């Protein structure tokens, strides 16, 4: 296994740009609304930050060694981050994910050489977590169970990088931080550090409006297995976003901002705009987890006649 110091790819994680929304945010001017474009990370998503820190921490303390396989449950993006780093550093990875993960995700993971175990799609991410735990318990000597939902290295990645970058990029002017929750690592870690830098910053969490909502990577906390890293005391407010709202904004982002993004970005943008709409002035920052390339097979882009589902402006 290569050392972290020898991994040039690892040095490419972070320092992603902050993009100000224009046309979709025209109704909230003079409030400034920004999204942190995490698809600039090497595997294409925000999960590179947490994945790298989980691996770095486990290698440093001896839990991840050349003879062990990194094992975790994933909805896709964290698995892709793990698989990329595994290929670069020379270790093996086994990923448990729902069978209905997008074809694009499966193709990417196969390209990196990851082993995949699929679970009942009706059980969602919860089913994948349970299966990963079962595998880990069956042969603890064979696996490093990364356990992204309970691993403090997840939120600490955002505490030490994402928050510091946002603070620097806004020159300390940020007034509101808005982020969706899956593992909750992005929201928890970034919020904790921003509050240390300025206790007046408002931190708003986003989640789907039901357990059946289809916003990739997000969790409906009332019915999910709660991640141990999740702290419900952090949020000043929680906003629920529907699948339809997320998908509509995703198409609008492509048509009106030139940003080809994922539904989780559409949901984050919708949440940030809702927050901005209640303000007279302010600087609202959210996290845009990934681009739209892993979602090209999703049906919301086109209706039955092949026309866009959202009218062009």
Domains, the chain, with CATH or none: 4-45+159-301 (3.40.50.1100), 47-145 (3.40.50.1100)
Given the residues 36, 45, 47, 68, the one annotated as active site = 47
| Cβ neighbours, 10 Å, residue 173 | 12
Residue 107 has pLDDT above 50, yes or no: yes
Phi and psi at residue 243, to the nearest 5° = -60, -45
pTM: 0.93
- 47 a catalytic residue: yes
CA distance linking residue 263 with residue 257, whole number of Å: 15
H or E stretch at 249: helix 243-252
CA distance linking residue 217 with residue 29, whole number of Å: 30
Predicted confidence (pLDDT) per residue in 46-100, tens digit: 999 999 999 999 999 999 999 999 999 998 899 999 999 999 999 999 999 999 8
Tokens in use for 265? 């970005």
Residue 14: left if φ>0, alpha if ψ -120 to 50, beta else—which one? Answer: left
Q: What is the mean pLDDT of residues 267-274?
A: 98
What pLDDT shows up at residue 213?
Answer: 77
What's the distance, Cα to Cα, between the start and end of the chain in Å?
Answer: 52
Given the residues 219, 264, 270, 294, the one annotated as active site = 264
The percentage of the chain sitting over the pLDDT mark of 90, rounded to a whole number, equals: 81
Of 113-127, 150-164, 255-269, least confident by mean pLDDT is: 113-127
What pLDDT shows up at residue 301?
Answer: 67
Report residue 300's pLDDT band, with 50, 70 and 90 as the boundaries: low
Of 10-19, 105-114, 214-223, least confident by mean pLDDT is: 214-223
CA distance linking residue 51 with residue 72, whole number of Å: 11
Is residue 142 reached through a cis peptide bond, with omega within 30 degrees of 0 on the bond before it?
no
């Amino acid at each position: 296994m290569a050392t972290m110091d020898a991994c040039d790819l690892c040095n490419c994680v972070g320092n992603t740009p902050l993009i100000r929304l224009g046309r979709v945010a025209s109704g909230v001017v003079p409030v400034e609304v920004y999204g942190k474009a995490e698809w600039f990370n090497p595997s294409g998503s925000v999960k590179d930050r947490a994945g790298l820190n989980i691996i770095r921490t486990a290698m440093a303390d001896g839990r991840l060694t050349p003879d062990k396989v990194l094992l975790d449950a994933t909805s896709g993006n964290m698995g892709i981050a793990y698989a990329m780093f595994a290929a670069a550093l020379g270790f093996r990875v086994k990923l448990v994910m729902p069978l209905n993960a997008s074809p694009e995700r499966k193709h990417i993971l196969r390209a990196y050489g990851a082993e995949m175990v699929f679970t009942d799609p009706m059980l969602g991410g919860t089913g994948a977590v349970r299966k990963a735990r079962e595998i880990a318990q069956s042969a603890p000597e064979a696996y490093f169970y990364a356990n992204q939902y309970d691993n403090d290295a997840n939120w600490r990645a955002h505490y030490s990088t994402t928050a510091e970058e946002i603070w620097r990029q806004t020159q300390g002017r940020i007034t509101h931080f808005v982020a969706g929750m899956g593992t909750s690592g992005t929201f928890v870690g970034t919020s904790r550090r921003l509050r240390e830098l300025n206790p007046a910053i408002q931190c708003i969490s986003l989640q789907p409006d039901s357990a059946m909502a289809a916003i990739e990577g997000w969790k409906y906390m009332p019915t999910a297995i709660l991640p141990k890293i999740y702290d419900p005391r952090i949020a000043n407010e929680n906003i629920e976003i529907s699948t339809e709202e997320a998908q509509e904004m995703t198409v609008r982002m492509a048509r009106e901002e030139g940003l080809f993004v994922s539904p989780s970005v559409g949901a984050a943008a919708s949440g940030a705009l809702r927050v901005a709409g209640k303000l007279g002035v302010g600087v609202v920052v959210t996290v845009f987890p990934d681009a739209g390339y892993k979602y090209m097979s999703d049906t919301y882009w086109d209706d039955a006649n092949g026309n866009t589902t959202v009218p062009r402006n």
